[in-house]
Amino acid sequence: MKTWFFTEDAYPNLPDDDTYESVRVNLPNKHFDPVLGAELYNMYLDIWCAADEMGLEIMLNEHHQTATCVLPAAPITLGVLARETKKARLLILGNPIVNRKQPIRVAEEMAYIDVLSRGRLDCGFVRGVPYEIAPANAYPYRGSEKLWEAHDLIMKAWTHHDGPFNFEGRWFHARQVNIWPRPYQQPHPPVWVTMGSAGSAAQVAQRKHIGAVFLAGYPGIRRLFDGYREGFLQAHGEEAPLDRLAYAAIVCVGENEKEAENGTEKLLWYIRSNKVAPQFNNPPGYHPPAVSANIIRGPRPGEPDRRDPRLETQKARGNVFSGTPDQVFQQIKNFWEYSGGFGHLLMMGQAGFMTYDETLKSMKLFTEEVYPRLKELTASYDAGVMKEIRSSRPDVESVDTGLLASEFVR
């Protein structure tokens, strides 16, 4: 299992959250202190460089008009990391190509980073979260169609080497496409796309790209990964390889449970600080009507709150892997088997006020004591055995992680 270290580059020094409406979109940037920002940006780069030195891969993303992620132009950060790191693959997950008006610019930036890093780029394309709509001023209706049209244009820009070609689509227009440079990797860098529904997963599978899922946990992972696997089998007549699927979770490893708990509580800032005003969470055209209607109504009485930010809840749901190395391995293994397997773990290992030292300690424990076992686990993957394990386990909303740890024998 390839593991990608990930932090959102938060600016966590916020006023009391009852003094503002939303951490996304309209929180005034007077609350951003550029001097502190400089410290944070450099710390985050140092953390990524440490991940590189420890043998982890690197993932970054971008958001706009939010303190939860102050990377508004991830390709710039990628450019820095292309120089500052030596071995790690560099994943951007991803370029919000539905909201950006110039796919060609994305193709150019990515080709440049691929060349500069001598072929270490993994390039993700995303639709983006609903609160990205207002900052981008982009109407989200038919977002999936726009994503694939921009994708097709970028792919051709990367792989066409005989002078200008024409593109006049429904959403994007470019009549003389001939990018310089072209990518370092041939025919193009690995492509990742995030998946939010079984239908969208099948579309990713049809193109053989890597499908990534964020924090879907036990309640959502099978539907998404199965959607991918079925789509892959249908389109290509063979089983999807393990390395086509990725799962993103919050990961914290401690020497003991207490240390891990302290670190994870800090990481959960990522979930707890995501105070989003309803008008930014539900822009028209982003969600299908039924989903939008549910958001307007709010949770029904007795309905479980899926955003419940308590550590135990998030752990039980498979959004957080946290504990001693043994415990974390067992949690990931259990989720991996339940999901039917995946080849990439996207590890959110820093968030909120977690310091450089705390982050590196967890990262080091992960790298030395968990990672080798995860690599063994995926190396032992057998599609037939996995199917048996999977079918022996009913669908669940959550698991008792305490029970997992006690069952662990090694």
Partner 1 sequence: MDLSVVRKGSGPQILVLHGGDGPVDRFPFADRLAEKFEIIQPVHPGFAGTPIPEHFDNLQDLIFLYLDLIDHLNLSDAILMGFSMGGWAAAEIAAINTQRFSKLVLVDSVGIKVGGPFDRDIADVFATAAAELTALSWHDPSKAPDPNSMTDEELQTFASDRIAHGLYTWEPYMHNPKLPYRLHRIDIPTLLIWGAGDGIVTPTYGEAFRDMIPGAKMVVIPDAAHSPHVEQPEAFAKAFLEFASK
Residues in contact with partner 1 by the rule CB under 8 A: 21, 25, 134, 137, 139, 141, 277-280, 283-285, 287, 289-290, 292-293, 296-297
Name the residue nearer to partner 1 (CB basis): 186 or 279.
Answer: 279
We find the least distance from the C-beta atom of residue 14 to partner 1, in angstroms, to be 20
Dist CA 267 CA 162 (whole Å): 48
Name the residue nearer to partner 1 (CB basis): 76 or 293.
Answer: 293
Name the residue nearer to partner 1 (CB basis): 296 or 409.
Answer: 296
We find the least distance from the C-beta atom of residue 145 to partner 1, in angstroms, to be 10
Residues 6+ apart with CB under 8 A from 86: 52
**Strands, E, within 200-297: which ranges?**
210-214, 245-253
We find the least distance from the C-beta atom of residue 279 to partner 1, in angstroms, to be 6
Name the residue nearer to partner 1 (CB basis): 21 or 312.
Answer: 21
Name the residue nearer to partner 1 (CB basis): 199 or 284.
Answer: 284
What is the Rg, in whole angstroms, of the alpha carbon atoms belonging to the chain?
A: 21
CB 204 within 8 A of CB 193: yes
Task: List the end-to-end C-alpha distance of the chain, in Å, as a whole number.
Answer: 19
Q: Which run of H or E residues covers position 358? A: helix 356-365
Name the residue nearer to partner 1 (CB basis): 142 or 387.
Answer: 142
**Measured on CA atoms in the order 307, 309, 315, 319, is the torsion positive or negative?**
positive
Which one, of 347, 348, 331, lies nearest residue 398 by Cα? 331
We find the least distance from the C-beta atom of residue 292 to partner 1, in angstroms, to be 4
We find the least distance from the C-beta atom of residue 96 to partner 1, in angstroms, to be 17
We find the least distance from the C-beta atom of residue 170 to partner 1, in angstroms, to be 8
Burial category of 302 from C-beta neighbours within 10 Å (exposed 0-12, middle 13-18, buried 19 and up): exposed
